[in-house]
Amino acid sequence: MKVGNQDLRPIWFDAGADAVKVIDQRLLPHRLVISELRTVEDTVYAIREMMVRGAPLIGVTGAYGVVLAAREAGAGRKDAFYRLCEKIKAVRPTAVNLSWGVDRVYKATAGLSQTEDRIRTAKTEAGIIAEEEAENCRRIGMHGVTLVREAAAEKTGGPVNILTHCNAGWLACIEYGTATAPIYAAHDAGIDVHVWVDETRPLNQGARLTAWELGAYGIKHTVITDNAGGHLMQHGLVDMVLVGTDRTTGTGDVANKIGTYLKALAAKDNGVPFYVALPSTTFDWNLKDGLGEIPIEERDADEVRFVEGLEDGVHHRVLIPPKESPCANYAFDVTPARLVTRLITERGICGASREAIQKLFPEKFSG
């Protein structure tokens, strides 16, 4: 996506540097820094510390990690190669894209024993995944924009007000984003949109990343606390909620950033449609019970305890509660399918039910 004069993606393989390059998303919006990943350890660090984050991007990062794993494992040593790939898959548990991306690239190298062959094949396959994810998002935008257009048609005046949680933008994907793709498409089509951006504690991906993305694209937006969405919906100030997901079951239960469930409840209570945008790579087809089956990552409590930001141009990390007070940091929650109005996928829009999902993706349910 365009940022100033640059055409940027959150990840790419830089042939000149012979390394994976990523935007270090921890430093946005105040600094735009590109970092290099040269080893599996670099890859693990980048995913764990959330230099990269968002389900599709984690999947692509895992995919490129296999290139680095192949280089590190060396020729022949299939076991070492396998173990390095497994190490990457284990870093974050909730997003299904990570293991999906790693597995797909690893399998593409099956039967190859020469390091160079593995690297070349892995690089090609990871690149294909990246392009597919970009295309998935483009198509999500194409389908999703119809929902925004319908909402605009129903309004007598003013912009379509869309509430989003966390960052399901191009920074979380490759291009367009998932939840943001219909927003960018609507803006490009001349539909008047305004986005309520949940700041999304603890790591403030909404305030830091989504606001930055939308601002760079010239889309009207307002940052709010995670507490505010219900009040806005009670007062008719939200026309739709539009979020991404880290893993969605074949029955339509949606794991996403912690707090998504609360917004879905408020949407239901106020008759506001609640849409979830996802590429099919984020489905975990065989799961039937999101609450029972999707592992919810618990991250370092210091992410709750400390907040990072800028004062007089200098980065600080400040303590909020008493230093003795325990904190807990659940990173995701599960929104039951009954609260989800529609899923927006690269193949089209469907209800959040096994039947509806199966109609769009019949080949995934044949087993």
256 versus 345: smaller Cβ distance to a copy of itself: 256
Burial class (CB in 10 A: 0-12, 13-18, 19+), 23: buried
Among 8, 29, 36, 360, binds a copy of itself (CB under 8 A): 29
Q: How far apart are the C-alpha atoms of 82 and 70, rounded to whole Å?
A: 9
Binding pattern to a copy of itself, positions 313-352, x when CB under 8 A? ---xxxxxxx-xxxxxxx-xxx------------------
358 contacts a copy of itself (rule: CB under 8 A): no
Nearest Cα to Cα of residue 306 among 287, 323, 290: 323
**Which parts of 155-296 fold into alpha helices (H)?**
181-188, 205, 211-217, 229-234, 260-270, 290-293
302 as an active site residue: the answer is: no
Contact 207, 200 (CB under 8 A): yes
Largest separation between any pair of C-alpha atoms in the chain: 67
**Cβ 73 to a copy of itself, closest distance in Å?**
38
For 64, other C-beta atoms within 10 Å of its C-beta total 30
Nearest Cα to Cα of residue 121 among 81, 171, 90: 81
32 contacts a copy of itself (rule: CB under 8 A): no
33 contacts a copy of itself (rule: CB under 8 A): no
104 versus 194: smaller Cβ distance to a copy of itself: 194
Say how many residues touch a copy of itself, by CB under 8 A: 63
Catalytic annotation, pick one of 198, 226, 239, 246: 246
Q: How far apart are the C-alpha atoms of 175 and 241, rounded to whole Å?
A: 21
Binding pattern to a copy of itself, positions 257-296, x when CB under 8 A? xxx-xxx-xx--x---------------------x----x
155 contacts a copy of itself (rule: CB under 8 A): no
> Amino acid identity, residue 119?
I
Burial class (CB in 10 A: 0-12, 13-18, 19+), 32: middle
97 versus 260: smaller Cβ distance to a copy of itself: 260
Among 126, 207, 278, 340, binds a copy of itself (CB under 8 A): 207
20 versus 243: smaller Cβ distance to a copy of itself: 243
For residue 191, CA distances in Å to 16, 147, 155, 182, 306 come to 41, 11, 12, 11, 39
Subset of 108-147 contacting a copy of itself (CB under 8 A) = none
Q: Which residues are identified as catalytic? A: 246
The binding site for a copy of itself (CB under 8 A) comprises 29-30, 197, 199-202, 204, 207-208, 211-212, 215, 221-232, 234-235, 257-259, 261-263, 265-266, 269, 291, 296, 304-311, 316-322, 324-330, 332-334
